[in-house]
Chain A
Amino acid sequence: MRRLLSRLVVRRPRLGYAVASALDRAGRRLGQSDRARWRGEVFRQCFRASAPDPFPAVFRGSLPPLPEPPMVLVSLHIGSHRAVGRLLERLPAPVFALADAVPRPRPSVNAFAIGDSPSLRLMGMKLALDELRAGRFVFLFIEGGKSSAVQVTIYGRSHGLARGPFVLARLAGVPVLPLAARWRGGKVQYTLGRPIEVADEATMAAAVAGWFDDYMSAHPDVLGGPLGAPFRRAS
């Protein structure tokens, strides 16, 4: 059942998420390992250049003002996070994306898969720091933090955010910018936060958490999918 649902999410994302959400509400919650696997699959699809574009109408509406590099861009797997890749393509400078698993990059998005290997994590951070120092963007989804996390509260629940993105921002002396995407009718609406200036990791992470807290409060629909479950408030 879960395999079928995963395929459906990949091929028909909106329908897949609607079905998954309905199942989720019915109590068939995904386990943590399933969510992690699902998240990896979603990220692969997000950056796969050969995949059919599931968001053809994304940029027919108006875009928010786009940020100027260098900057660390961060997001969570909420809302229509698969559309984030489309936004990254349209930024005014190349983007370096760090992810658990990425087979192929999008145009102007150079993705690096760090996986579980400590040496690959070090390589990824080194490349990301070089990109920031060269005046480019770095993008990461920031849930978890496998080896190093900073604890924050988002939407009334405690979460660990990856510490690496904030350390990169501090070392490069560049701001952090949270962003998110959500379905609105047949289009995707992108929302960008304000740049969070360099500070210690806990301060920057708290500011990012505060922005996502406000975003979720304003748009609770972004927590509808199975990946949004960890962020939903207990009823």
Chain B
Amino acid sequence: MSVSANDLDALAELISTSWPDRLEGVILHQDLELGEGGLGLDSVDAFELLVACEDRWGRPMTEALLKSDPLTVGLVVEHFAAA
């Protein structure tokens, strides 16, 4: 699995819009988890981010994505930004 820098930048923009402090001192990479030990988003925040991704890329989230454990930056970008 690999994601482009442009897609990572787009996700970073979405995150910084709603949670400006979450990216301080964090390098966004595909293995970074959305929850504890990563971005530190709780389940409600993570859901909001996924809805923002739906709006940004125009693709719906799927059950398979939501069941991913752990949910990582790479999985999110790959799901929404994949051509």
- A residues touching B (Cβ–Cβ < 8 Å)? 118-119, 121-123, 125-126, 129, 147-148, 163-164, 167, 171
Contact = CB atoms under 8 A, between A and B. Distances in A.
Contact of B43 (A129, A148, A171): A148
B47 A125 contact: yes
Nearest to B61: A126
Contact of B51 (A118, A123, A164, A171): A171
Nearest to B69: A119
Given A119-B66, A122-B50, A167 B44 contact: yes
Contact of B44 (A119, A123, A125, A126): A125
B46 interface: yes
Nearest to A129: B51
Given A118-B71, A125-B47, A148-B42, 12 more contacts: A118-B43, A118-B69, A122-B46, A123-B67, A125-B44, A126-B61, A126-B66, A147-B44, A148-B43, A167-B44, A167-B47, A171-B48
Chain A contact residues: helix, strand, loop or mixed: helix
Given A118-B35, A171-B51, A147 B67 contact: no
**Which 5 residue pairs spanning A and B have beta carbons closest together?**
A148-B44, A121-B43, A148-B42, A122-B66, A147-B42
Contacts of A125: 43-44, 47
B63 interface: yes
Contacts of B42: 147-148
B68 A119 contact: yes
